[in-house]
Amino acid sequence: MGDFTLELNDDQQSVRDWIHGFAADVMRPAAAEWDEREETPWPIIQEAAKIGLYSLDFYAQQYFDPTGLGIPLTMEELFWGDAGIALSIVGTGLAAVGVLANGTEEQIGTWVPQMYGDVNDVKLAAFCSSEPDAGSDVSAMRTRAVYDEATGEWVLNGTKTWATNGGIANVHVVVAVVDPELGTKGHASFIVPPGTPGLSQGQKFKKHGIRASHTAEVVLEDVRIPGDCLLGGKEKLDERLARARERARSGDSGERVKNAAMATFEASRPAVGAMAVGTARAAYEYALEYATGREQFGRPIIDNQGVAFQLADMRTQVDAARLLVWRASWMATAGRPFTSAEGSMSKLFASETAKKVTAQAIQILGGNGYTREYPVERMHRDSAIYTIFEGTSEIQRLVIARTLSGMPIR
């Protein structure tokens, strides 16, 4: 009988414990302060940089973990510490992945290091895709990129929204329309270098949760960038657009291209699921500790089935969510196709679990849980984002239903 194990190896346990120590000793003591301030926690990010936790090298090592568990383990522990601070630490990775996935070797070598900076001069990056009228519906994107033949520059105009680190980042990666007639196949990604005229921060959002993470609009007004800031290069873009136009003329819908793009999104969703697992686990653990120490009518409140059964359900749901995340992460690394939309399943279940478990934690703490003196209130506010970003729960259910049925469900 073949070997099967869910045990972490020594290296994975060591990394997990290292991150957990940082989350417990550095992030948690500062979480309430930065939540109230609603500002980017630069000192915490710098501390992460000092120990190598905020660096491309570290995330690359976790990404190439052959089991696929490096990234989920990292995300769970960081978001166990605090979701807002954690998102400030990992937000740059969204832009870095955009460059790594689409850029040339020269572009990767030039721009990714500038996204992180160094220990003495920490930098951030922002990935700008969503727009005021184009969230889940990326086909409605309006930001335009036009090539100026005379100068060899690209000119970008439009407004992006919900950009993590938007406006305060050193490097912005912007998705824009280069050929409106081709829909989503007419999109391309661009690097906007530091200090480029015409890029400015628009509205900074005052959010319900994850308030230590900076989220804002990014306004692009006649932003001129060198031609080599088009990720992948113009020759590759022209070839891709030519193929898309030929398919359009021949009546080929390009379904295979659409499926490949969906596979990319599917592979990224377990990481968000792992974030949700971290927040849910934190709330469960706090509620368990509170229930064993809090006495009512002369005995700990966990002696009451109404409380004990809630905790039993909370732990079961957290563990089930983690297993779905691990399965999808392993499948993505092993190159197994998500024939049942396993990536979306993990994100859907974990995000809904985080909302439910954090609400149950508040209920167990009673009036105390409703105050900012106890962290479960913040955890509950933070958990709401997981069912919204990287595809809402409704979008996940749509993806799963379409995958299972093969029907164009709307």
Question: How many CB atoms are located within 10 Å of the residue 61 CB?
Answer: 15
Cα(207)–Cα(205) distance, rounded to whole angstroms? 6
Q: What values do phi and psi take at 243, rounded to 5?
A: -65, -40
Cα(104)–Cα(78) distance, rounded to whole angstroms? 31
Using an 8 Å Cβ cutoff, are 196 and 118 in contact? Answer: no
pTM to 2 decimal places:
0.94
Cα(19)–Cα(63) distance, rounded to whole angstroms? 15
Place of tokens 């605090």: 82
Tokens representing 14 are: 């060591």
Cα(209)–Cα(377) distance, rounded to whole angstroms? 10
Residues 6+ apart with CB under 8 A from 169: 92, 95, 115, 123, 124, 125, 126
Amino acid type, 262: M
Task: Check residue 214 and give left, alpha or beta (phi > 0: left; psi -120 to 50: alpha).
Answer: beta
pLDDT at 136: 66
Tokens representing 344 are: 């979306």
What residue ranges define each of the domains in the chain, with the CATH number in brackets? 10-90 (1.10.540.10), 125-251 (2.40.110.10), 257-405 (1.20.140.10)
Each residue's pLDDT tens digit in the chain (410 positions)?
Answer: 467 889 999 999 999 999 999 999 999 999 999 999 999 999 999 999 999 999 999 999 999 999 999 999 999 999 999 999 999 999 999 899 889 889 999 999 999 999 999 999 999 999 999 999 877 667 789 999 999 999 999 999 999 999 999 999 999 999 999 999 998 889 999 999 999 999 999 999 999 999 999 999 999 999 999 999 999 999 999 999 999 998 888 876 554 444 333 444 556 799 999 999 999 999 999 999 999 999 888 999 999 999 999 999 999 999 999 999 999 999 999 999 999 999 999 999 999 999 999 999 999 999 999 999 999 999 999 999 999 998 899 999 999 999 999 999 98
Residues known to be catalytic: 390
